[in-house]
Chains A and B, each alone.
Chain A
Amino acid sequence: MPGADKEADLTERIEAFLADLKRGGCGTGPIRGSGETARETTALLRKVTAQARWSSAGDLMEIIRKEGRRMTAAQPSETTVGNMVLRVLKIIREEYARSRGSSEETDQQESLHKLLTSGGLSEENFRQHFVHLKANVIEAINELLTELDGTTDNIAMQALEHIHSNEVIMTVGRSRTVEAFLKDAARKRKFHVIVAECAPFCQGHEMATNLSKTGIETTVIADAAIFAVMSRVNKVIIGTQTVLANGGLRAVNGTHTVALAARHHSTPLIVCAPMFKLSPQFPNEEDTFHKFVSPHEVLPFTEGEILSKVNVHCPVFDM
């Protein structure tokens, strides 16, 4: 039966994605950029919308919430997954509202005042069935996907406003967004980049090679030298893994050092982050959604007997 096959196919894709999330993303293997994760999540959600059986928006949202919970549980440190799920849910709500016919303005006005005065729960329970809801939702998700594709370019286009000639710019580790940002500016301006290598994964090396290929003067420094060099730096530009709800960042290990050094020297710090990295989470518990990988990077297994007497940790992110 084609229906059952499709469902099986869908579950298989979801399982594969979950397994990938669980396994991938360790520091040494091919790192999946957050952009790709976001894109895959959205594509998967689109498939779910297209193939799952649902009769009203409420059902669809339930299904997506369930899948979303599974995906975030698989890799809690990968927040883009959760972010995309939330965005898709928002899309569904919007489309539903539009189909219901109420104009956009009145609905958006869910101001605090209205919430207070309205008293009980809102009447929306998304039970109405609309014929074209599916098509609309899928179309909106497609728009979201195109937006995702264009984020890096959008950011890079603003590069010229921020980078001036003969500036010294510092960056940390490897970020695709920052790379594109700097490469775009390099077309018209000449400047110097200092990259902190970011042990133990040392992604700074890769970043430096990529930048120097396009003709930008690059220097790689060890993490210990960040403070020493900071006095010579005009700007610091970094990428991040997540932007948290209070404005805080969860970025790669070593960013905290750079931020503190920059503050000490009053150097301006710019963060380049595409919209799928914005997360509604707060950094309340210090332990949640942190990622520790195999301590192999820090102290290799071959070190032998010392390992039984020593605790080795290898965190991936800084808050």
Chain B
Amino acid sequence: MSSRGGKQKKGNVTSEQEEEEQPLQAVLVADSFNRRFFPISKDQPRALLPLGNVAMIDYTLEFLTSTGVQETFVFCCWMSNKIKDHLLKSKWCRPTSPNVVHIITSDLYRSLGDVLRDVDAKNLVRNDFILVYGDVVSNIDVSQALQEHRHRRKVDKNISVMTMVFKESSPGHKSRCEEDDVIVAMDSKSKRVLHYQKTQGLKKLQFPMNIFQHGSDEFEVRHDLLDCHISICSPQVAELFTDNFDYQTRSDFVRGILVNEEILGNQIHLYVTQDGYGARVSNLQMYDSVSSDMVRRWVYPLTPEANFTDQQGQGCTHSRHNVYRGAEVSLGQGSQMEENVLIGRDTSIGANCRISNSVIGNNCTIGDNVVLDRAYMWNNVHISSNVEIHQSVVCDGAVVKEAVRLNKQCVLAYNVVIGPNLSLPEGTVVSMHHPEEEEEDDDDEFLSDDQEVGHSKDKTRQKAFNPAEVGPEGKGYIWKASMDDTEDEELAQCLWGLVLNPDPESDSESEASEESQDHSRSVSPEIDDVNAFQLEVLGTLQRGLEENIVCDNLVLEINSLKYAYNITLKEVMQILTRVVLEYPFQQQGTQLTTLQYTGSLLPLLKTWSPVFKNYIKRPQDHLDCLSAVEELFLEQDTHQTAMVKVLMKMYQLEILEEEAILKWFSTGATNDKSRQLRKNQGLQKFIKWLEEAEDESSEEGE
């Protein structure tokens, strides 16, 4: 279902110029596919929620239009009719708009992946396009990034698939969304993304080393990037989404591309902007910061008094300290608008009020002695006297009666009434929709978004309002964010952003609990494999001993394990060495004396020497084996004397060559412990003996 709201542009130029003259297209996803703004978004789709008294989707469209986009496809799913109505009335659907907006709706979209698959199926994009969400607020000029992207694709023959736009901002900045916090490893020269990982509040992260071996010599690992959720995609992106049915979000896509790089050869690049502002309103915390950034004019020229949506009566005047007043605002005596305040038109404010860092919508009435700090009020809100509101959101039509105090992070949804003389604790969400009603008509909502959701109340029992919760004259139900078990165990996603559960598995203890679940999520799968491989090898060797299996068969088994767990040859050899050397400990416990240890180990070495010889062929392998031996004996301090015997035996069995041993001895004393090791008497004697032996053999050779 698609409807047009503008005149059609026909591209009828020669194919050579077609690339430059094709209108720049954009795909705008007007649905966030999550429920972060429930219950507010039950009545109004997220893209239409007002930020600074202007619907969020207007900001996105303005950003796209000013950066030169000429054709936009808006994809809506939830409450698409409202979005469509809004857009058709707005300035972007006027015939004179430079940006042609096509609205495409479907009830079947469940994720970004679905939308892009639809884009591919309908063949809507012919060329590079910009992909944004409907709640992105930005003033970045993307043309520079676009140029780089196009240049890269021309030079490299379409290897670069996507360019993500990030903004440089230090960690801990209030406009950085904690959920989107990301660490990126990139190649500095080509701006290519090598590793992309969401930090999710962790303090320790692991990077696979193979990403740094790609030939360039300048790498950056950056944590100072704010994800603007703006991407410049090539048409291949849509195709890749169609090919991979499990890609649901952009992060899936990025990870997929990075993991499958060898196979598909696609690359993702980055564009980091220092000027310009871009952020996505993904939860209420971000709503708070983006709103205040906008009032402080960081998103110039999208400022409140600019009235870029060209709506009648929307203009306001800008005064000192970022105070914006709409038309017909009346202020009572003694009231002060301290700083960073935006007041919509026809609002009247009573006497002796103090307002700061707030946004107030149109047609609101505010009583006397009201204190508003970081309060966001939408249209038609009625606030009586002696009210205090701190860092809260009050939606359309709500009524707050006398002497109410809203503590931080409260949300009052549409048409809620909060009774007199009440203090709402922090983090309360009150809505006219009963929380249980939501689960009952879960399925219905998605299919029949045409109906007003409110009508479905007839089905449920009309529950009485609890005066203890909402006050004697109040109306509304307290809404508790349901702690889903399927979500991450540690991180509960409530309306206001991440809430780290105060579980014992918190960050400060993650160093101790290395095997905890969340840590294992971020640990690369390779280390799990390595551990499993080690166990398997141990098992194999044990069986080999018990059942007297021929060494060739052992080698075969180890090789197959190597392929199964995707281990490199070098690692195989190191692990094998380690396993063998630890074998006596495994069998007989760790309380061996050196003598017992060597007693059991040396025969084992003899038995398994063919296995070793199979893996140790090149000089480098010798060195690797030696370093594994060194590592082991560094850990096993008490048995360092055994090391000499081990080395001697290995030399005699011709597993290791004297040149390699000498080389290892002379190089590579990296820390004190290994230097100490080398000072060991026995070892020194051994080395000396080796040198003499070598001299003798070389003399003989001459």
Q: Which residues of A contact B (CB under 8 A)?
A: 8, 11-12, 15-16, 19, 22-23, 26, 28-29, 73-74, 286-288, 290, 292-296, 300-305, 307-308, 311-314
Give chain B residues whose Cβ lies under 8 Å from the Cβ of A8: 95-96
**Given contacts A15-B96, A22-B308, is CB(A294)–CB(B300) below 8 Å?**
yes
Residues on B with C-beta less than 8 A from A304 are 169-173
Selecting from B113-121, B196-204, B312-320, the interface stretch reads B312-320
The verdict on B291 contacting chain A, using a C-beta distance below 8 Å, is no
**A22-B306, A296-B275 as given contacts; A287 in contact with B168, CB under 8 Å:** no
**A287 and B320 contact, Cβ closer than 8 Å, known pairs A293-B300, A302-B224:** yes
CB distance from B247 to the nearest CB of A (A): 32
Contact B296 A23 (CB under 8 A): no
Residues 247-295 of B at the A interface (beta carbon under 8 Å): 274-275, 277, 289, 292
How many angstroms between the C-alpha atoms of A294 and B302 in the bound complex?
10
Contact A23 B298 (CB under 8 A): no
Distance in angstroms between the alpha carbons of A166 and B284 in the assembled complex: 64
Contacts of B603 in A (CB 8 A): none
Within the complex, what minimum Cβ distance (angstroms) separates B641 from chain A? 56
List the B residue with the shortest CB-CB distance to A314. B297
Q: 6 interchain pairs (CB within 8 A)?
A: A15-B94, A15-B97, A292-B318, A295-B296, A301-B175, A301-B298
* In the assembled complex, B322 has its CB within 8 A of some CB on chain A: yes
Contact for B297 among A12, A73, A293, A303, CB less than 8 A: A293
Nearest to A27 among chain B residues (CB) is B300
Name the distance in Å between B327's Cβ and chain A's nearest Cβ.
Answer: 12
Residues in chain B near residue A294, CB distance under 8 A: 139, 277, 297-300
Choose from B95, B97, B170, B299 the contact partner of A302 (Cβ within 8 Å).
B170
**Minimum C-beta distance from A176 to chain B (A):** 23
Interface pairs A-B: 8 shortest CB-CB: A304-B170, A294-B300, A12-B96, A304-B173, A287-B319, A15-B96, A308-B174, A23-B301
Q: A12-B95, A295-B297 are in contact. List 8 more A-B contacts (CB 8 A).
A: A15-B97, A19-B98, A73-B315, A286-B320, A292-B300, A301-B175, A304-B169, A308-B289
Complex CA gap A307/B292 in Å reads 11
Task: Tell which of B95, B167, B300, B340 touches A301, judged by Cβ atoms closer than 8 Å.
Answer: B167
A16: chain B residues at CB < 8 Å are 98
A301, B98: Cβ atoms closer than 8 Å: no
CB-nearest residue of chain A relative to B139? A294
Q: Tell me if B298 and A287 are in contact (CB < 8 A).
A: no
> What's the Cα separation between A300 and B276 when bound, in Å?
10
Chain A residue at minimal CB-CB distance from B320: A287
Residues in A whose Cβ lies below 8 Å from that of B460: none
Q: State the CA gap A307–B317 with chains docked (Å).
A: 24
Interface pair A305/B172, CB less than 8 Å apart: yes
A73 nearest in chain B by CB position:
B315
**Contact present for B275 and A28 (CB under 8 Å):** yes
B66 in the interface (beta carbon within 8 A): yes
Bound CA–CA A155/B174 (angstroms): 51
Q: Which of B170, B298, B339 contacts A295 (CB 8 A)?
A: B298
B144 CB, nearest partner CB in chain A, Å = 12
> B321 on the interface (CB 8 Å rule)?
yes
Majority secondary structure, A binding face? helix
- Which residues of B in the span 156-183 have a Cβ within 8 Å of any Cβ on A? 167-175
Most chain B beta-carbon contacts within 10 A, residue among A8, A22, A74, A300: A22
Contact indicator B170/A311 (Cβ below 8 Å) = no
B: residues with CB less than 8 A from A are: 65-66, 94-98, 139, 141, 167-175, 224, 274-275, 277, 289, 292, 296-301, 306-308, 315, 317-322, 339-340
Q: Please tell me which one of the listed residues B98, B171, B339 contacts residue A311 in the complex, with CB atoms under 8 A apart.
A: B339
The answer on a CB contact under 8 Å between A296 and B298 is: yes
Q: Which residue of B lies closest to A303 (CB)?
A: B170
- Chain A residues positioned under 8 Å from B168 (CB to CB): 301-302
Complex contacts, A73 vs chain B, CB 8 Å: 307, 315
Chain B hits for A74, CB < 8 A = 306
A123 to B306, CA, bound (A): 39
Chain B residues near A301: list those with CB within 8 A.
167-169, 173, 175, 274, 277, 298
- Chain B residue with Cβ nearest A10: B96
For the complex, what is the distance from the CA of A299 to the CA of B594, rounded to whole Å? 66
**Nearest opposing residue in chain B for A75, CB measure:** B306
CB distance from B374 to the nearest CB of A (A): 11
Shortest Cβ gap from B101 to chain A (Å): 15
B317 to A305, Cβ gap below 8 A? Answer: no
Contact for B173 among A287, A295, A305, A314, CB less than 8 A: A305
| C-alpha spacing A74/B277, complex, angstroms | 22
Residues of B within 8 A of A290 (CB): 318
User: Are B274 and A302 touching (Cβ within 8 A)?
Assistant: yes
CA distance A15 to B309 in the complex (A): 12
**Contact residues in B for A11 (Cβ distance below 8 Å):** 96
Of residues A8, A295, A303, which shows the largest number of chain B Cβ atoms within 10 Å of its Cβ?
A295
Give the residues in chain A near B167, CB-CB below 8 Å.
301
CB distance from A168 to the nearest CB of B (A): 36
Complex: A73 Cα to B312 Cα, angstroms? 12
B416–chain A nearest beta-carbon distance, Å: 29
Bound Cα distance A220, B420 (Å) = 65
A312: contacting residue among B141, B296, B317, CB under 8 A: B296
Interface centre among B97, B292, B296 (most CB of A within 10 A): B296
A22 and B302 CA atoms in complex are apart in Å by: 9
Give the chain A neighbours of B141 by CB distance below 8 A: 29
What's the nearest-Cβ distance from chain B to residue A304, in Å? 4
Which of B65, B224, B318, B340 counts the most A-chain CB atoms under 10 A from its CB?
B318
The answer to whether A23 and B170 touch across the interface, beta carbons within 8 angstroms, is: no
Chain A residues lying within 8 Å of B298, measured Cβ to Cβ, are 294-296, 301
- Complex-state Cα separation, A292 to B317, whole angstroms: 12
From residue B547, how far is it (CB to closest CB) to chain A in Å?
64
Partner of B321 from the list A286, A308, A311 (CB cut-off 8 Å) is A311
CA distance A305 to B176 in the complex (A): 10
Of the candidates A15, A28, A305, A311, which one forms a contact with B296 in the assembled complex, judged by CB atoms under 8 Å apart?
A: A311
Tell whether, in the assembled complex, residue A307 and residue B319 are in contact, meaning their CB atoms are under 8 Å apart. Answer: no
A316 to B238, CA, bound (A): 44
Q: Tell me the bound Cα distance from A303 to B275 in angstroms.
A: 12
| Distance of A12 Cα from B296 Cα, bound (Å) | 32
Closest CB-CB distance, A169 to chain B, in whole Å?
A: 33
A311 closest partner in B (C-beta): B339
Residues of A within 8 A of B169 (CB): 301-302, 304
Q: Could you tell me the distance in whole angstroms from the C-beta of B365 to the nearest C-beta in chain A? A: 26
